[in-house]
Structure 1
């Protein structure tokens, strides 16, 4: 069932809000040199402090990249609203269910079509690339971001145990 005008307006405003949040002024981070300089001025610095700094920087860069990609998806969805194609699966041409759009307003495909595309990507990608994408998912998933049960933490634990 196609979206009503009111439903489309609801998603339009939701997407505009997401666009505003994602393109807003981000917290300015110090340069790596400044941060390392601050650490190196101390007397009892430990190598782990430097490792933590590098890890934090990499996490920040990953989150910024995810935000940039999400902003592109939101902008694409807003363009689809203007074009009159919002809520239609790009792969199958079927209507994307309202519930899916409520959860993921920038969705391009139905759940089934998205799963097919992801399965195709996973089977075609080299194993290190699949592992990397799983780690990015873990880092960006609010449910696993602070949990030791994610694949990313399992890999880090294995590497630490082997050293």
Structure 2
């Protein structure tokens, strides 16, 4: 089912609002030296304070990177609207349902095609990435948390023994 004119107009405004929000001026943080004040001169220097500041900086950088990537997706969707290809799955060529576009206006694929693509990426991932994801699942599994029998703890023990 193709999108109605009203649906396209609604989604276009939604994308423009997202674009405006994502490309708006972001207040730049002061330099780390200014932020830490007397901490940087070595007096009352506490590693925890510096660690917190570094973590905050890394978080801010990650958020800015995510915003930049999202803005690229929004711009791509707006370009597709101009081209007349908006709402068509890039993988299957099927129409993307309005409900999906309402939730994710910059969606490039149907839910099914997106899931297939993610499954393909997971299968094609290098073994260390698959192992990492298994370890994360293992550590978050309520049955194996804090137990030496988990796969992750076994790997960590082997690594420590090899040193």
TM-score by length of 1: 0.74
Aligned residue in 2 for 1:45: 45
3-state DSSP class of the match of 1:107?
A: coil
Map 1:140-151 to 2 at 5 A.
Answer: none
Distance 1:128 1:35, change over 3 A: farther
Distance 1:105 1:38, change over 3 A: farther
- What is the rounded CA distance, in whole Å, between the counterparts of 1:127 and 1:57 in structure 2? 31
Q: Does 1:124 align with 2:124?
A: yes
The Cα offsets for residues 32-59 of structure 1, whole Å up to 9 and x where unpaired, read as 3433454224743321111111111111
3-state DSSP class of the match of 2:15?
A: helix
* Count of residue pairs brought into register by the alignment: 137
- What is the rounded CA distance, in whole Å, between the counterparts of 1:69 and 1:31 in structure 2? 24
Structure 2 residue runs of 5 or longer lacking an equivalent are: 146-151, 153-163
- What is the rounded CA distance, in whole Å, between the counterparts of 1:120 and 1:46 in structure 2? 47
Aligned residue in 2 for 1:4: 4
Structure 1 residue runs of 5 or longer lacking an equivalent are: 136-148, 159-163
The Cα offsets for residues 92-134 of structure 1, whole Å up to 9 and x where unpaired, read as 00011111101000000001111111122222223565659xx
| Greater C-alpha radius of gyration | 2
TM-score by length of 2: 0.74
Aligned residue in 1 for 2:82: 82
Cα RMSD, aligned residues only: 2.6
Single out whichever of 63-72 and 115-124 deviates more from structure 2.
Answer: 115-124
- What is the rounded CA distance, in whole Å, between the counterparts of 1:9 and 1:35 in structure 2? 45
